[in-house]
A = this chain, B = another copy of it.
Amino acid sequence: MSAAVINYDRGMGRWQPGARGRLTRAALELYAERGYERTTVAEIAERAGLTERTYFRHFADKREVLFAGSTELGDAMVRAVAAAPESATPVEAVAAGLEAAGAIFRDDREGPRRRQAIIDTTAELRERELIKMASLSAALADALRDRGVPDLTARLTAEAGIAVFKVAFGRWVNGTGPDDLTEAMRESLMELRTVAAG
């Protein structure tokens, strides 16, 4: 299997075996070829050699195939925040979450790039992405509150973490930042801290 095909099979950055991976690959192909709006779930299933019914066992709708990885991403970030040393400040705990996110995308920029190109050209998908980011911010704030961080601090630190994630991910995926996402996250977090001190 060529590297390009392997990349195609990745959702938010991890190898997805079996039906799920085939459906994700088929969806990315068709969305890129025909556009998101002009592609149906039936066509995605057909391209993957599976049934519509199988599609809906894996994904709630036509959009969700592009966002399935965001649950995994959120879980990894929340776990890292929770696992940060007790002595870690709120921003240090969120930094651990950003490192975990960077690790998920470590080996693959081409998959996320294809996915982002589709999202960027479809208002409905950009909305869904914003919703996912807002949910992620809420989950990070919860994780911080669980560490005993007061509500206002937890919310602001979580929002700041998402700001860093968004900016760093954008620069990484469009090639204007470092080639390594973790590096891009560190750079953006450092910049945010410098800005806030200014």
Chain A residues close to B by CB (< 8 Å): 89-92, 123, 126-128, 130-131, 134, 151-153, 155-157, 159-160, 162-164, 166-167, 170-171, 176-177, 187-188, 191-193, 195-198
Give the chain B neighbours of A164 by CB distance below 8 A: 156
- Selected from B89, B123, B156, B195, the residue in CB contact (under 8 A) with A167 is B156
A93 to chain B, nearest CB (A): 10
Whether A195 and B157, one on each chain, are in contact in the complex, defined by CB atoms closer than 8 angstroms, is yes
Task: Please name the residue on chain B nearest to A92 by beta carbon.
Answer: B198
Q: How far is the CB of A192 from chain B (nearest CB, A)?
A: 5
**B167, A90: Cβ atoms under 8 Å?**
no
Most chain B CB atoms below 10 A, which of A90, A171, A198 = A198
Tell me the minimal C-beta distance from A138 to chain B in angstroms: 11
What's the Cα separation between A126 and B133 when bound, in Å? Answer: 13
Q: A159 contacts which of B157, B166, B177 (Cβ < 8 Å)? A: B166
- Report how far A197 CA is from B192 CA in the complex, Å: 10
